[in-house]
Amino acid sequence: MAPIEELQLLWQNQATPTVRAFDARPLSAAFRKYGRRQDIINIAKSVLIVGTLVSSGIAYRHRPLMLLSTTLLLLTAGLAVLAEWRIQRGIARLDFSAASLDFVRESIIHLQSQRNPFHTREYMTLFGGLLIGYNLMTVAVWNKLTVERRIATHALATVAPFFIYGLGRAIRAKRFDAELRPLIERLTALRDTLEERAL
Q: Could you read off the pLDDT of 38-74 as tens digits, one per residue?
A: 999 999 999 999 999 999 999 999 989 889 989 998 9
The answer to whether the CB of 199 falls within 8 A of the CB of 19 is no
Rounded distance between C-alpha atoms, residue 189 and residue 26, angstroms = 13
Whole-number pLDDT of residue 51 = 96
Q: Cα separation of 19 and 198, whole Å? A: 10
Handedness of CA 153, 159, 165, 171 (dihedral sign): negative
Higher-pLDDT residue of 109, 42: 42
Whole-angstrom Cα distance, residue 121 to residue 80?
10
Q: 91 — alpha (psi -120 to 50), left (phi > 0) or beta?
A: alpha
Confidence bin at 19 (pLDDT 50/70/90): very low
Strand, coil or helix: 179: helix
- SS3 category, 4: helix
